[in-house]
């Protein structure tokens, strides 16, 4: 099946620094990728829709200057958490569906961010 | 807005027991319904889906039927195994995908 890979799978950083998380579709092209955030004992919350070659579409309440999304190619989207603070600590998950596919979503393994 | 409600868990069962994880939803329009599974240390995987009322999705012994009249999509399995231990997410999609909170299943030998 289609594979989506995230890197890093976990990261610890100091408050005030920026962290970049990569999401790659390994064996298919994905014009659109999605970034989710998952809090403990809560559901996945859609943060933004990443569109190749254009600006991301952010959900209401998500700070676009805080969570920078770049979709530079058909197989790579990046999420940069800028000036991270402890409240940004969370589990970030990306997903993508294959271009010209069935619409099924394929998920990355997730990236756990801990901000000290 | 769209929402999905499912039991939080954890649900602990003995091997070969019958499993039901309830899922109900509210949605504008006509959603497609999904169950995703997340095994320890792995990403979410699609377990099964149903795209219209009365459809039954099935995979790996799991089943769920799209019940429009009760707005439900309960997940069932007749005999669980230790390897089924995971977190199960119910989800719907109209324009975007909306997830439930996930139900952790623990199957003990």
Burial of A56 (0-12, 13-18, 19+ CB in 10 A): buried
- Residue B3: CB atoms within 10 A of its CB come to 13
**pLDDT average, residue stretch A50-72:** 92
B46 in contact with A, Cβ within 8 Å: yes
CB contact under 8 A, A41 and B89: no
Task: State the pLDDT at residue A92.
Answer: 95
CB contact under 8 A, A43 and B102: yes
Task: State the pLDDT at residue A44.
Answer: 87
Residue B28 pLDDT grade (very low, low, confident, very high; cuts 50, 70, 90): confident
**pLDDT average, residue stretch B49-70:** 96
Best CA proximity match to A8, nearest among A69, A94, A83, A116: A94
B4 φψ region: left (φ > 0), alpha (ψ -120 to 50), beta (else): beta
pLDDT higher than threshold 80 for residue B46: yes
B1 in contact with A, Cβ within 8 Å: no
Task: Report the distance separating Cα B36 and Cα B3, nearest Å.
Answer: 16
Q: Which two tokens stand for residue B98?
A: 């909306």
Distances from the Cα of A3 to the Cαs of A54, A96, B88, B98, B108, in angstroms? 23, 9, 20, 21, 30
Average pLDDT for chain B: 93
A115 in contact with B, Cβ within 8 Å: no
Bridge partners, residue B59, by sequence:
B62
Residue A3 pLDDT grade (very low, low, confident, very high; cuts 50, 70, 90): confident
Residue among A46, A49, A107 minimizing CB distance to B44? A107
Give A93 to chain B, closest Cα distance, Å: 8
pLDDT higher than threshold 80 for residue B16: yes
Model confidence pLDDT, tens digit, residues A84-115: 999 999 999 999 987 776 677 888 989 999 99
Task: Report the distance separating Cα A7 and Cα A10, nearest Å.
Answer: 8
Q: Provide the percentage of residues in chain A whose pLDDT is more than 70.
A: 96
> Which residues 6+ apart lie within 8 Å of A8 measured at CB?
A21, A111
Task: Report the distance separating Cα A80 and Cα B36, nearest Å.
Answer: 27
A62 in contact with B, Cβ within 8 Å: no
pLDDT higher than threshold 70 for residue A35: yes
Chain B residues close to A6, C-beta within 8 Å: 43
**Residue in this structure with the two tokens 């807005």, named with its chain if needed:** B1
Residue in chain B closest to A41 (alpha carbons) equals: B101
Task: Report the distance separating Cα A115 and Cα A19, nearest Å.
Answer: 10
CB contact under 8 A, A41 and B8: yes
Identify the three-state secondary structure at position A81.
strand
Q: Which residues, numbered 78 to 97 in chain B, qualify as contacts with chain A under a Cβ-Cβ cut-off of 8 Å?
A: 89, 96-97
Site from B9, B41, B44 to mutate, A interface, most A CB atoms within 10 angstroms? B44
CB contact under 8 A, B99 and A93: no
**pLDDT average, residue stretch B74-84:** 97
Bridge partners, residue B34, by sequence:
B49, B91
Task: State the pLDDT at residue A1.
Answer: 62
Concatenated DSSP letters of B22-84 = -EEEE-SS--EEEEEEE-TTS-EEEEEEE-STT-EEEETTEEEE-BTTTTB--EEESS--GGG
């Amino acid at each position: 099946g289609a594979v989506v890979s995230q890197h890093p799978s976990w990261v610890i950083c100091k408050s005030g620094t920026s962290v970049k998380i990569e999401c790659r579709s390994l064996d298919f092209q994905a014009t659109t990728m999605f970034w989710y955030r998952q809090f403990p004992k809560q559901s996945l919350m859609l943060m933004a829709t990443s569109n190749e070659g254009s600006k991301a579409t952010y959900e209401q309440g998500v700070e676009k200057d805080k969570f920078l999304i770049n979709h530079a190619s058909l197989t790579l989207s990046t999420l940069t958490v800028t000036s991270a603070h402890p409240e940004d600590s969370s589990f970030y998950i990306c997903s993508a569906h294959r271009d010209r596919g069935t619409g099924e979503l394929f998920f990355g393994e997730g990236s756990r961010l801990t901000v000290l | 807005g769209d929402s999905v409600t499912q039991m939080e868990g954890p649900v602990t069962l003995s091997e070969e027991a019958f499993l039901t994880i309830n899922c109900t939803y509210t949605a504008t329009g006509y959603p497609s319904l999904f169950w995703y599974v997340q095994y320890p240390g792995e990403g979410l995987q699609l377990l099964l889906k149903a795209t219209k009322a009365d459809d039954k999705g099935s995979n790996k012994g799991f089943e769920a039927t799209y019940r429009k009249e009760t707005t439900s999509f309960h997940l069932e399995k007749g005999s669980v195994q230790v390897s089924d231990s995971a977190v199960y997410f119910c989800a719907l999609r109209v324009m975007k995908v909306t997830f439930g909170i996930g139900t952790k299943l623990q199957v003990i030998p």
